[in-house]
Amino acid sequence: MDNSDKIIEQIKESLKKCQPFLEQDGGGVELVIVDFENKIIEVRFLGNCIACPLSIMTLRAGIERLLLMDFPDFNRVELAKTEKFLG
């Protein structure tokens, strides 16, 4: 396992911290892409989070804040624009 694979696994573990809060409302989040070159983490909302009018607030104030504290080398967290999935 190289360093980028380790970072991907660590990001997945960090996202698990958010899951209980999202699951309370019937939603969730998953990692889609880690762009090491541009320092961007892309995630996808699941369930009720997909259509929630507060999802951008959840992304910025919750998920992005958490991930950037845990991974300060990254610049931002975005909603994925692709179907590629890191599972």
Give the model confidence (pLDDT) of 70-80 as tens digits.
999 999 999 99
Question: Please, what's the b/e burial string for 49-76 (b: 16 or more CB within 10 A of its CB; e: otherwise)?
Answer: beebeebeebbeebbbeebeeebeebee
Q: What is the pLDDT of residues 18-53, one digit of tens each?
A: 999 999 999 999 999 999 999 999 999 999 999 999
Strand partners, 42: 33, 78
pTM, 2 dp: 0.89
pLDDT confidence of residue 81: 76
DSSP labels, 15-72:
HHTTHHHHHTTTEEEEEEEEETTTTEEEEEEEETTTT-TTHHHIIIIIIIHHHHHH-T
Using the predicted structure, report yes or no on whether residue 86 has a pLDDT greater than 70.
no
Using the predicted structure, report yes or no on whether residue 2 has a pLDDT greater than 90.
no
Rounded Cα distance, 85 and 32, in Å: 4
| Domains identified in the chain and CATH numbers | 3-79 (3.30.300.130)
